[in-house]
Amino acid sequence: MALTGLIWYGFLVGHLVGNLQLLAGDGGVAFDDYAAFLEASAALVVPTEVILLLALVLHIYAAVSLSREARAARPVGYRELRTVGGRSVASRTMIYSGLVIVVFLAQHIFNFKYGDRVDGSLFALVDTTFGQPLWAGFYMFAMIVLGFHLWHALRSAFQTLGLSARPTLRRLSILLSVLIAGGFALIPAAMFVGG
């Protein structure tokens, strides 16, 4: 689960760097050039998409398997639920945030990979989409959920790797989650306000 999550974490960093070109203020030239580069790079993009799809399927499988194992280990629930041992809202809601992320991911791919471009411009499609309050709001909400998921995910990955006792890494997991989710949320917010 940690390995597949880290694969997606790496993808999100690269995806954010590319998508921040939406805010370049050049009418979408840089972003459309970036999109054209990706479309012309099938030898790079197709294997990446296959790896991401496999990582997603394995990640979901691991999540379901771990949940079943935990339930089997304690078939009778606790009489009293308390936050003990550093459990956070993020850790208690991983399944739900994961479901929101899967729904968001499907919608995101449908909208932007297969959506009808405006005059052939992906930037114009994104700008039109984020000019609508419901779409901009949905994307920002999904990024808040993603931030919580990433925060716990990176902490858990560090724990799996035997590094969880290091306070610097705990702070790093929070910082990266805020930067990634905040960076993605900034895009629809800025485009909605600026549009």
Whether the pLDDT of residue 84 is over 60: the answer is no
Q: What is the pLDDT of residue 190?
A: 97
Can you tell me the mean pLDDT for 38-67? 94
Q: What percent of the chain has pLDDT over 70?
A: 90
Can you tell me the mean pLDDT for 125-143? 97
Whether the pLDDT of residue 164 is over 70: the answer is no
Whether the pLDDT of residue 48 is over 90: the answer is yes
What is the separation of C-alpha 153 from the centre of its chain, rounded to a whole number of angstroms? 11
Taking the model in full, what pTM does it have? 0.85
Tokens standing for 195? Answer: 């549009």
Q: What is the pLDDT of residue 162?
A: 78
Whether the pLDDT of residue 131 is over 80: the answer is yes
DSSP per-residue string spanning 60-97 = HHHHHHHHHHHHHH--SPPSS----SS--HHHHTHHHH
Domain residue spans of the chain: 2-77+89-194
CA 191, CA 12: separation in Å to the nearest integer? 20
What is the separation of C-alpha 163 from the centre of its chain, rounded to a whole number of angstroms? 23
